Amino acid sequence: SKNFTASAPVSGSGNAAYVRALDNAFGQAATDIVRWADSTI
């Protein structure tokens, strides 16, 4: 079991900027998850 966290700054305002930041943070976390899973298999 492992916890993953990621953050990304919001550059701009409005929903589109928030969605981009969330997408970037998710992308970072997803990359970490794949690397971790690959190393444990």
Note the pLDDT tens digit of each residue in 1-41. Answer: 899 999 999 999 999 999 999 999 999 999 999 999 999 99
**pLDDT given for residue 25 in this prediction:** 98
Residue-range domain boundaries for the chain: 1-41
Q: Would you state the structure tokens that stand for residue 23, as one six-digit string?
A: 């997408």
**pLDDT given for residue 9 in this prediction:** 98
**pLDDT given for residue 1 in this prediction:** 85
pTM more than 0.85 = no
Q: What is the DSSP string of 1-41?
A: -----------SSSHHHHHHHHHHHHHHHHHHHHHHHHHH-
